[in-house]
Amino acid sequence: MAAGVTDRLEAYSSEERKERRNMTREIKKCECGLVWKLVKVKTPYGIRDSDSLQCSCGRELISWNGRHTWTAEVVNKGEKNSR
């Protein structure tokens, strides 16, 4: 089970370095029309292991695991499709 773990860690840490430089943000449009701004936030190690965020309609916006969390904020309510 231990094989490959080191490879994965190396790949992850180099990617994490990149992310830290650019401060990870993502714009995600839900199928319900809401547009969310997702911002990656560092949390103290051990507080969260894995988690996810849901849109107010209940669809999953993002899921992750690791030493960070994401915050979501509505940036655009889009068209009033669903009523």
Give 18 or 59: the residue with its C-beta nearer to Zn ion.
59
Q: Which of 11, 41, 57, 75 lies at the binding interface for Zn ion (CB under 5 A)?
A: 57
Give 30 or 72: the residue with its C-beta nearer to Zn ion.
30
8 A C-beta contact, residue 48 and residue 69: yes
Provide the minimum distance between the beta carbon of 64 and Zn ion in the complex, in angstroms, as a whole number.
18
- The residues, ordered by sequence, that sit 6+ positions from 64 with a Cβ below 8 Å of its Cβ are 50, 51, 52, 70
Provide the minimum distance between the beta carbon of 55 and Zn ion in the complex, in angstroms, as a whole number.
3
